[in-house]
Amino acid sequence: MTRVALIAHDDEKPEMIDLAQSYEATLSAFDLVGTGTTSKRIMAETGLTVERKESGPMGGDMQIGAEVAEGRIDGIVFLRDPLTAQPHEPDISALLRICDVHDVPLATTRTSAEYVLEGLARDEADD
């Protein structure tokens, strides 16, 4: 089953919720994992189940990065706030780098998220 990670910075959580609601049917076919509050909010506002990791600043980004390195993540939607400095910026950079190293698709905007989700759904249907 396709495994997708969902992560959103605080200012981007409303956009993530809207994306999850709009793509609920697509996301329901995936095994979902996400960082703490993002996962909690998605589950509260949709019918989706998301495996919760720690929040990003508490190591959640690194937990998801470890799964990428283990080959357990097929794609990531990480709606980042590019205008606000994050206290765990080194963890964020490491996650982005590990996605590049392992050729895992990573979307950081709503538009790129839609492309990644639609592409992963097509791959899932082809299997």
- What is the DSSP secondary-structure string of 106-127? EE-SHHHHHHHHHHHHHHHHH-
DSSP classification of residue 35: -
Quick one: pLDDT at residue 13? Answer: 97
Q: Which active-site residues does the annotation give? A: 61
- 36 in a known ligand binding site: yes
Quick one: pLDDT at residue 88? Answer: 80
pLDDT in tens, 32-65: 999 999 999 999 999 999 999 999 989 999 999 9
pTM of this structure: 0.95
pLDDT in tens, 73-85: 999 999 998 888 7
Query: Would you call 75 helix, strand, or coil by DSSP?
Result: strand
Distance CA 125, CA 102 (A): 23
- 40 in a known ligand binding site: no
- 22 in a known ligand binding site: no
